Amino acid sequence: MYTLIFSKDRPAQLDLLLQSMALYVKSWQDLLLLVMWRATTDEARAGYNLLFKTYWDIWEREDTGSDDFRKSFTELVSTYPEEYMQLLVDDCLIIRNVPLASDGVWFVLSDAMKAPAGSVFSLRLGKNVTTCYSENGRAVKQPPDIKWDKQISWNVARHQSAGDWSYPASLDGTIFRTRDLAKCIAGKKFNNPNTLETLLAASWPKTAVMHAHANPSVIGIAHNSVQDAGYKNRCGSGSADELIRMFLDGKRLRTDCVLKGLLAAKPNACHIELPLERFML
């Protein structure tokens, strides 16, 4: 499976995600892993340069503008032969074991995602998700026909206005069929991950079935915002620049400390705010 991570001005947070992948994704080194990255300051670029020395051969050329991003992503989904593509963003964290190697999640994908068009597998949804962070913590109803087994499935069209449960287009730990992505973006305009997700959300097949594990393995840590999409997603008041400065001073976000913070917070949504500066050691 092809795994693509989007990152902009967040080398410290990307480092945390890659640490968690090494910890929790079985045979993660065997995945076709690639990072599409962008640095808009010299400090951010210096942070990524530090990552280049630690994580080899996973870097797409730097995205220096909107047209670069569209062309690069379109080429990736059009030319890579892998049937499935997992999308992640740099403020995600893997929080438990994820069987994504050839002997793991494939039995789920090959059977559950054959039909209908637009079916996706979400790594961020599970039985703990009862609120929608991006909608100011609004309480949401879980699909009533879910049978809480190791794997769960539900039809998106029958569960509208259910927050993240009715949102198959998230870039935060969703596995797509590559051909569905290619079809959805063909001839369309987008210039960064945010506008890509907006495009996918608006045009994704209404027949989509979503699949997940009963317990999520990905969560988004909404610490700061670095987007320039013309609108602002909900996030905490943290500073990406401050994390970069600490990273360049030799500190790193400690996966074990962040996971303890999450355990204490008991998240009930796909995103959570954490004071990441406290975990830079």
Taking the CA atoms of the chain, what radius of gyration do you get in angstroms?
Answer: 18
Per-residue pLDDT tens over the stretch 186-200: 999 999 999 999 999
The pLDDT score that the predictor gives to residue 183 is 93
60 pLDDT above the threshold of 90: no
Report percent pLDDT > 90 for the chain.
60
Domain 2-113+171-203+218-279 falls under CATH 3.30.930: no
Residue 104: the pLDDT is 47
Predicted confidence band of residue 109 (pLDDT cuts 50, 70, 90): low
Cα separation, 55 vs 39, in Å, equals: 17
CA distance linking residue 276 with residue 223, whole number of Å: 7
The mean pLDDT of 160-181, rounded to a whole number, is: 91
* Domain boundaries of the chain, sorted by first residue: 2-113+171-203+218-279
Instruction: Give yes or no for residue 100 having a pLDDT over 80.
Output: no
How far apart CA 86 and CA 133 sit, in angstroms, is 22
Query: pLDDT value at position 110?
Result: 57
pLDDT band at 151 (very low <50, low <70, confident <90, very high): confident
Strands (E), 165-280: 174-177, 209-213, 218-221, 271-272
pLDDT at residue 107 above 50?
no
Average pLDDT over residues 151-157: 85
pLDDT for 115 equals 63
Strand order in the sheet with 84-89: 32-38, 2-8, 84-89, 174-177, 120-122, 209-213, 151-155
CA distance 91 to 32: 20
The pLDDT tens digits of the residues spanning 164-173 come to: 999 999 999 9
pLDDT of residue 80: 80
Does residue 212 contact residue 120 with C-beta atoms inside 8 Å?
Answer: no
| CA atoms of 114 and 112, how far apart (whole Å) | 6
Residue type present at position 265: A
Tens of pLDDT along 215-255? Answer: 999 999 999 998 776 566 788 889 999 999 999 999 999 99
Reply yes or no on whether the pLDDT at 81 is more than 80. Answer: no
Comparison of pLDDT for 81 and 8, the residue scoring more: 8
Q: Alpha-carbon torsion 96, 97, 101, 105, what sign?
A: negative
Q: Which amino acid is at 229?
A: A
